[in-house]
Amino acid sequence: MHQPDPPLAPFSSSTRDTAGADIPNIRAAAIADVPTIHHLLEIYASKGNLLPRTMSELYRHLRDFFVIEIDRRVVAIGALEIFTEDLGEVRSLVVDAAYERRGFGRLIVQRIVAEARNIGLRRVMALTYVPEFFHKLGFKTVSMGSLPEKVWSVCVKCYKYNNCDEVAVLLELK
């Protein structure tokens, strides 16, 4: 049986647990975060792991983003883009290389899924090179053709449209 996600309190910097380890704070992105978000996305885009996004696009879509902050430094980001009353997408999921393998990507996806449920979406999808990561979070691999909302609004404009090498994954929200 699915347990609901715990409520998330807004924070502005990280705290430490009793052992002195950083406890990440997840919050909505702020205007001041855009340069860092852009920088993190550029690193991964330069490796071909995701599509680049311009600063102006990030400002326009700022409300889609969540960030994880450790000691007042943004170390992980992700966005929820909404296509229809039914479908949203996990986009721009990035963890700073110095903070990988700490579960921050999972935390961002869980926060995005919680937001999707909160606003009434029924499905959340992602295009990814690491479907196994999403499978661990309950997503299933699906065909791109099963996501026409994404294909005909975004993918058709992408330079990879005729040769997309990403895997589509989908989470049905109950």
**Range(s) of the domain holding residue 94:** 15-126
d(CA 7, CA 12): 16
pLDDT for res 6: 39
Residue 6 lies in a domain: no
User: Is residue 25 assigned to a domain?
Assistant: yes
Q: How confident is the model at residue 9 (pLDDT cuts 50, 70, 90)?
A: very low
Tell me how many domains the chain contains: 1
> What CATH number is associated with residue 111?
3.40.630.30
Any domain includes 2:
no
Q: Name the strands in the sheet holding 25-28, side by side, starting at the edge strand that comes first in the sequence.
A: 25-28, 65-70, 73-82, 87-95, 123-128, 167-172, 140-142
The answer to the question of residue 154 being in a domain is no
pLDDT in tens, 81-122: 998 889 999 999 999 999 999 999 999 999 999 999 999 999
